[in-house]
Structure 1
Amino acid sequence: MRNELHPISHWHSFDELRAAQEKLLDAALRHATRAPFYAERAGESGLWSLDDVPLTTKDDLRSTYPFGMLAVPKAELATYHETSGTGGAPVPTPTYYTAGDWAEMVDRFLRNPIPMTSDDTLLVRISYALVMAAHLGHQSGLAAGATVVAADARTLTSPYPTLVRIMRDAEVSLTWSTPFECLVWAATARLGGHRPERDFPALRAFYTAGEPLGPARRARISELWGGVPVLDVYGSTEIGSVSGTCPAGTLHFWADRLLPEIHDPETGEYTREGTGRLVVTTLYQEGMPLLRYDLEDIVELYYRDCPCGWKLPTLRVHGRILHDYVVADRQVSAAEVEETVFRLPADYGVLFWRGQAAGDRLRVQIEVEPAHATAAAADLHALLTRAFDVPTDVETVDPGTIVPLDVLKGTRRTAKPRRFFGPGEDWDDAVIQA
């Protein structure tokens, strides 16, 4: 299954895009039935229209583990991954990619208004474990000729002061991380006596993923770093990046590579655009094609013109349905609360927060300097009340409470695993698994 890869500029109208989707869809449906799971669903006919295809869920991937979703011989596979969203399930959610899949995913990832070049140094600060996001950024950097710094995440071998030092000394120009990391780096830099808005002149852009990123938090991150653009990339381990940020700052779905639909679980209806659960059909994927795959995210998707001129649908991600809670009969999402927090004036210096759906009340805690605590609490209470109309408690805590100072300072000692020690060494202190 080999299809020609076109640049964004290839599409001149939504009608042209729709025709290309239909053409690619026919081949994608035929290819998918090579997988045992879809072959069984297709039955004797072997071919369907998309209207006849039922939803594919993460549970379907788990129930067919390990090879039921494969549409190619195992000899053609290049990598294996498992999603971070497995959530402790006894059976994992597997994902396979071929070399052809990787070539297409890298081409998709490199669609950016601020592209990577051989002059760039890319810091990858996402876990290199079984999920594929770090590997996608890494491979994309190599394909573009950039120098890649494989910093990983959630590891003791690259504490935050080390990352900030590398960003400054190695003249890191691009980063690939969650949006939260960008805030932590800023806090760490300030703690070390640096000014993020001035002391990192090589920075050209932050590529971010893994969390919904609203306009307010995007603007705050950019402001902290002296106006460096923040380019959101939304996707999943099972599919790769499904969208990217255009020059006008709008998120666009890669609808020439993936066919999106909006699904209403209550009615079972699928629509081409609107608000609801995002369902994706892969149009290029070889190793593990997916038909009407439920990403379990609530989104807004519309085929409408954007100032950038891209003829690709616009996308707004509200977040995982698993991260929504009911407060006083009102559904509240983490993404909505976070966006509200970052509407606070920047002068308050609020970077870190946490919240709790406590029955009939919404409880939100923010880190803020004592001099701004009273004003910040009052302003946030008013913002949250307007946004959600539920009983709300806002608490302020000193900086270093939600994100501990020893994390920002990197004071926890790290060492390679050891089994034999010299005189005077404390083996309880010396052995910290990296």
Structure 2
Amino acid sequence: MNLPTLGDWSSFEELARVQETRLDAVLASASRSPFYAARGVPPSLRDAPLTTKADLRDAYPFGLLAVDRTELATYHESSGSTGSPTASYYTQSDWDDLATRYARKHVGIRADDTFLVRTPYALMITGHLAHAAARRAGATVVPADNRSLAMPYARLVRVLHDLDVSVTWSMATETLLWAAAARLAGYSPGADFPALRALFVGGDSLSPARRARIEEIWGVPVVEEYGATEAGSLAGACPEGRLHLWADRVMFEVHTDTDEIRPDGRGRLVVTPLYRDAMPLLRYAIEDEVEVSYRDCACGWWLPDVRILGRTGRVSEATLDEHVFSLPAEYGVLFWRGRVDSGLEIQIEVADRYRAAACADLTASIGDVRVTAVPPGGLVPITRLTSSPDVLKPRSLFGPDEDWDTAHRYY
């Protein structure tokens, strides 16, 4: 399959033509899936109703399969953070699209990189996606799964340092946890990891202030990624620091509060992958609140901008994150949590000597909020950052001096 590459178009009008050449194939592929065959595939995408997460759950596990099972390369499920997990599956051809989209970083993946992947190697796609993209580039992959008891933070810091890791992939919050763990281990994050050249992040809030704080701590660029298990990488940061949707590979629309579906503006993101064989999706509503705009960018990619505003119906985490990480760096605030009940409450982790100033500054910045503080270790326990728990293999036969109560323990 010949996939579009950056530079194949030089205007938004040409980008639209790149999209249009794929729409007939997308509709034809959808007609081979039991779900869309039963619903009825419209003559054009503009006539298609939204496909929802509820539709994906109802079609579990293979109701959206449009190829023979023998053609599948992988099967995945979402994390289920907003309800029951949804199933997703990909052919090898689909993976060519997935991996090349993920690799579209303005800080590219190189063959001489040691690439640490600190996202789940599980049913979610995220770890496998980064692994596949890094291997396509010839990089050495360190599979540092963040759901494994075998990879505590103390071990991760050692691996980052001893293996000269140059690029990482994780949630943004993970990089702050590494920094805290590194300092507890006696390292300076900005000085003692000289091979590190970029932090790829995605999956949680990344306000401009948080990005700046992470870059200040580690001394390397933070490169943002946005995607979903159901569709793979959907957007990436350009050299100008703007997040662009991969609109040559996926058709994007916005579902507004007035139930209008339009190409730009503010609302819930709607996606139609243009190169998806195994599981075609027509106007899939991801439920993330976004703002999409078409405007010129000095990067020359000619792709729409996107601002990720968070899940529908929540207080904007991105806005609160910006306030927290706009506090002076000397306060050392890395971790916070918020709760909305009758009002808004935010709790921050901060040393006693900065407690009063940090709480006062944050209250003044946000306004109608109750701010409380806990000492370091109050939100992220110190032992979580420093311990290296035993990880046992299950076994059945023991000697006379061994503890057979550990027979089927995994940790």
TM-score, L = length of structure 1: 0.91
| Structure 1 unmatched runs, 5+ | 325-331
In structure 1, the residue matched to 2:393 is 416
- Give me the whole-angstrom Cα distance separating, in 1, the residues matched to 2:112 and 2:27: 41
Matched, 1:263 2:263: no
| Contact residue 406 and residue 412 of structure 1 kept, 8 A | no
- Per mean C-alpha deviation after superposition, the further-off stretch among 336-345 and 374-383 is 336-345
Q: Helix, strand or coil: the match of 2:290?
A: strand
* CA–CA separation in structure 2 for the residues paired with 1:128 and 1:107: 19
Query: 5 Å matches for 1:336-415?
Result: 336-359=319-342, 361-385=343-367, 390=368, 392-415=369-392
Residue number among 211, 214, 220 corresponding to 2:207 in the alignment: 214
Give the total of aligned pairs: 411
Q: Which residue of 1 aligns with 2:231?
A: 239
Percent of pairs with identical residues: 53
> Contact between 2:254 and 2:268, CA under 8 Å: does it hold in 1?
yes
Q: What displacement does 1:429 show? A: 7.2
2:264–2:292 Cα contact (<8 Å) kept: yes
Matched residue, 2:43: 48
1:280-332: CA deviations, max 9, x gaps?
A: 0111111001010011100011111112121000111011126x1xxxxxxx2
> C-alpha separation between the residues in 1 aligned to 2:216 and 2:354?
19
3-state DSSP class of the match of 1:296?
Answer: strand
State the match for 2:186 in structure 1.
193
What's the counterpart of residue 153 of structure 1?
146
The 2-side partners of 1:348 and 1:306 are apart by 35
Give yes or no for contact 2:206–2:321 (8 Å, CA) kept in 1. no
Which deviates more, 350-359 or 413-422?
Answer: 413-422
Q: Quick check: 2:117–2:169 contact (8 Å CA) kept in 1?
A: yes
Q: What do residues 202-247 of structure 1 show as CA deviations (whole Å, max 9, x unaligned)?
A: 0111111111311111111111102x11111100001000001101
Question: Aligned Cα RMSD in Å?
Answer: 1.6
User: Which string of whole-angstrom CA distances, capped at 9 and with x for unpartnered residues, describes residues 371-426 of structure 1?
Assistant: 111111110111111xxxx3x11111110110001100024333223444445545
SS at match of 1:79: strand
Distance in 1 of aligned mates of 2:360 and 2:407: 47
Runs of 4+ in structure 1 deviating by more than 6 angstroms, as ranges, are none
Work out the CA distance in 2 between the residues paired with 1:21 and 1:40: 26
Opposite residue 345 of structure 1, the aligned amino acid is P
SS in 2 for 1:9: coil
Among candidates 131, 137, 142, match of residue 130 of structure 2: 137
Aligned counterparts of 2:408 and 2:186: Cα–Cα separation in 1: 31
Q: 1:9 to 1:74 in 2, by over 3 A?
A: same
Q: Which residue of 2 aligns with 1:22?
A: 20
Q: In the alignment, which residue of structure 2 is the partner of 1:73?
A: 68
Aligned AA for 2:247? A
CA shift, 1:66, in A, is 1.9
Cα displacement (A) at 1:427: 5.3
Tell me how far 1:26 sits from its aligned partner.
2.3
| Residues 292 and 191 of structure 1: CA distance in aligned 2, closer, same or farther (over 3 Å) | same
Q: Hey, what's the Cα distance between the residues in 1 that align with 2:217 and 2:107?
A: 19
1:344-367 deviations in whole A, cap 9, x for unaligned?
A: 1111110011111121x2111111
Separation in structure 2 between the aligned mates of residue 430 and residue 75 of structure 1, nearest angstrom: 38
CA separation of 1:411 and 1:162: change in aligned 2, threshold 3 A = closer
Measure, in 1, the Cα distance between the counterparts of 2:70 and 2:282: 23
Distance in 1 (CA, whole Å) between partners of 2:407 and 2:380 is 25
- 2:164 corresponds to: 171
Any unmatched runs of 5+ in structure 2?
Answer: none
* Cα separation, partners in 2 of 1:35 and 1:307, compared to 1, 3 Å: same
Q: Which residue of 1 aligns with 2:101?
A: 108
| AA aligned opposite 1:141 | A
Residue 306 (str. 1) matches residue 304 (str. 2): no
For residue 363 of structure 1, what is the amino acid of its counterpart?
A: E
TM-score (normalizing by structure 2): 0.96
Stretch deviating more after TM superposition (234-243 or 9-18): 9-18
- Counterpart selection for 1:122 from 82, 102, 115: 115
- Cα offset, 1:61, TM superposition: 0.9
Contact 2:154 2:388 (C-alpha < 8 Å) held by counterparts: no
1:320 aligns with 2:332: no
Q: CA deviation at 1:41?
A: 2.0
Q: Give the stretch that moved more between structures: 169-178 or 408-417.
A: 408-417
Residues in 2 aligned to 1:296 and 1:204: alpha-carbon distance in whole angstroms? 33
**2: CA distance between counterparts of 1:403 and 1:31?**
47
Instruction: Compute the displacement of 1:116 (Å).
Output: 0.8
